């Protein structure tokens, strides 16, 4: 069952995935997940791809990689780092992005909605202007890369790396916090320029036509016509994780530049939210049943799970059993507070699911 790493497969592993700041990202679990990858995978689907850390690893292994997340800012990372074979942001592109936009007047969403909550007016104007210039870049991959690097700069800039709180501007004036994290007072432009090279250096061609999708996975699965050898499921950990749309709403608003939403609560989260099916207790069992039924054409499944999630692990195994034989593997967090995005004392679980003989 262990995947033998042939010499040829090492050649992309030197590329470095730019460090994400995303709840539940699996970047620190990749070598553990790697132990359970089946051999002879040609095409792999990362069904809930988030920061794209697992998709990036699949791409490094030479798989044809299909990634999907229902949030578009994550899909943009997929376009930039997974689909993209060679497009980087060069000096001339950066000049376009930082120029004063001819359409400035039509791009004031961040300033209108988030000034005084996450940004001072000047910074909000800067990111609006930058957003107006993105469509001027010459192709969709450069555009996706510009959005990706800007979104990452915004999570660097804002305290705690998410937008589910209203403390950003208060903490940005707190000397203790600034000492610990200078990004709080750095101009977004500087942060962008600092991290851009890490993204440019992460772009490579693994000789496959990789794809990034932006759909609810339950809508996407029936559309596949091709053979897929492996699917990796990393659903939101219902009941133990905060909700992605409350945490990262600002990135989705920036990416979509919504014109048809309301912005509610202290954080100005967009409303209505996208439908997940995997984040509410009342829907989740049904959604998993559907997910497994729709994935039956894919022989190998690997699922990340957590012992604090709902439904509990025994129920999850029972849900999978009609379709696949299941092995449960535990990884105990070493630090007492749990890993990033985890609950203290929780253990990360992998469900290795194979067809019955
Ligand atoms: C635990 S995170 C995935 C983390 C990812 N493996 C990584 O390494 O960054 C779960 C992801 O599922 C996405 N999601 C939630 N409901 C979804 C749905 N119905 N279809 C597709 N993606 C969904 C969320 O946006 C979130 O990014």
Note down pLDDT in tens along the chain; length 357 residues. Answer: 455 555 566 789 999 999 999 999 999 999 999 999 999 999 999 999 999 999 999 999 999 999 999 999 999 999 999 999 999 999 999 999 999 999 988 999 999 999 999 999 999 999 999 999 999 999 999 999 999 999 999 999 998 899 999 999 988 898 999 998 888 889 999 999 999 999 999 999 999 999 999 999 999 999 999 899 999 999 998 865 568 999 999 999 999 999 899 999 999 999 999 999 999 999 999 999 999 999 999 999 999 998 888 999 999 999 999 999 999 999 866 554 444 444 556 789 999 999 998
d(CA 183, CA 127): 16
**How far apart are the two ends of the chain, measured CA to CA in Å?**
14
- Residue 52's nearest CA partner among 83, 10, 9, 90 is 83
Q: Is the CB of 234 under 6 A from ligand 1?
A: yes
Q: 251: which 2 tokens?
A: 């990135």
CA distance 70 to 84: 19
Sequence-separated contacts (24+) of 27-31 with Cβ below 8 Å = 27/51, 27/53, 28/339, 28/340, 29/304, 29/331, 29/348, 30/54, 30/57
Residue 303 φ/ψ, nearest 5 degrees: -125, 130
CA of 302 to the centre of ligand 1 (A): 15
d(CA 186, CA 165): 20
The alpha carbon of 173 and the centre of ligand 1 are apart by a number of angstroms equal to 33
Q: Is 70 in the pocket of ligand 1 (CB under 6 A)?
A: yes
Q: Is the CB of 50 under 6 A from ligand 1?
A: yes
Report whether residue 277 contacts ligand 1, using a CB cutoff of 6 Å: yes
Residue 152 placed within a domain: no
39 is in which domain, residue-wise?
Answer: 18-85+207-243+279-357
Answer yes or no: is 141 within a domain.
no
Q: Which residues of 68-87 are buried (b: 16+ CB within 10 A; e: fewer)?
A: bbbbbbbbbbbbbbbbbeeb
Please answer whether residues 305 and 313 qualify as being in contact, where contact means their C-beta atoms are separated by less than 8 angstroms. Answer: yes
Neighbours of 39 (CB within 10 A): 11
- Tell me the CATH number at 58: 3.40.50.150
Q: Which residues pair with 262 in a beta bridge?
A: 271
**CA 186 – CA 199 distance, rounded (Å):** 20
Is 312 domain-assigned? Answer: yes
CA gap 36, 54 in Å, rounded:
13
Q: Count the domains in the chain.
A: 1
Q: How far is the CA of 164 from the centre of ligand 1 (A)?
A: 17
Burial (0-12, 13-18, 19+ Cβ within 10 Å), 283? middle
Q: Is 65 a member of any domain? A: yes
Asked if residue 23 belongs to a domain, the reply is yes
Cα(48) to ligand 1 centroid in Å equals: 4
- Whether the bond between 272 and the residue before it is cis, its omega within 30 degrees of 0, is yes
Non-local CB neighbours of 54 within 8 Å, separated by 6+ positions = 26, 30, 33, 46, 232, 234
Burial of 222: CB neighbours in 10 Å, binned 0-12, 13-18, 19+: exposed
Protein residue whose Cα sits closest to atom 6 of ligand 1: 49
| Continuous segment of H or E residues that includes residue 168 | helix 168-171
How far, in Å, is the centroid of ligand 1 from the Cα of 237? Answer: 9
Q: Given this model, what pLDDT does residue 1 score?
A: 47
Rounded to whole angstroms, how far apart are CA atoms 19 and 28?
10
List beta partners, residue 303: 233, 351
Q: Is residue 168 part of a domain?
A: no
Is residue 112 situated within a structural domain?
no
* Rounded CA separation 258/264 (Å): 13
Whether ligand 1 lies within 6 angstroms of the CB of 24 is answered as yes
């Amino acid at each position: 069952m262990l995947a033998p790493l042939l010499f040829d497969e090492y050649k992309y592993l030197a590329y470095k995935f730019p460090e994400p700041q995303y709840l539940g990202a699996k970047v620190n679990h990749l070598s553990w997940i790697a132990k359970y990858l089946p051999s002879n995978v040609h095409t792999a689907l990362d069904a809930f791809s988030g920061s794209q850390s697992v998709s990036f690893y699949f791409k490094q292994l030479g798989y044809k990689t299909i990634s999907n997340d229902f949030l578009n800012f994550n899909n943009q990372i997929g376009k930039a780092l997974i689909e993209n074979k060679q497009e980087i942001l060069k000096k001339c592109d950066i000049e376009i992005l930082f120029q004063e936009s001819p359409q400035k007047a039509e791009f004031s969403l961040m300033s209108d909605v988030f000034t005084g909550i996450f940004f001072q007016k000047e910074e909000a104007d800067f990111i609006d202007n930058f957003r107006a210039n993105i469509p001027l870049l010459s192709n969709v991959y450069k555009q996706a890369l510009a959005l990706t690097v800007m979104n990452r700069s915004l999570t660097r800039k804002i305290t705690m790396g998410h937008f589910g709180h209203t403390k950003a501007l208060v903490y940005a004036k707190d000397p203790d916090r600034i000492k610990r994290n200078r990004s709080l007072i750095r101009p977004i432009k500087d942060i962008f320029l600092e991290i851009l090279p890490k993204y440019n250096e992460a772009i490579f061609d693994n000789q496959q036509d990789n794809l990034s999708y932006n759909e609810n996975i339950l809508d996407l699965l029936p559309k596949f016509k091709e053979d897929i050898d492996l699917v990796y499921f990393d659903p939101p950990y219902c009941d133990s994780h905060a909700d992605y749309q409350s945490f990262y709403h600002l990135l989705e608003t920036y990416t979509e530049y919504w014109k048809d939403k309301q912005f509610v609560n202290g954080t100005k989260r967009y409303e209505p939210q996208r439908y997940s099916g995997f984040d509410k207790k009342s829907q989740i069992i049904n959604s998993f049943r559907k997910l497994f039924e729709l994935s039956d054409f894919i022989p190998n499944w690997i699922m990340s799970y957590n012992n604090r999630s709902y439904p509990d692990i025994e129920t999850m195994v029972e849900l999978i059993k009609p379709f696949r034989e299941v092995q449960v593997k535990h990884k105990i967090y070493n630090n007492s507070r749990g890993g990033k995005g985890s609950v203290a004392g929780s253990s990360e679980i992998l469900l290795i699911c194979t067809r019955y003989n």
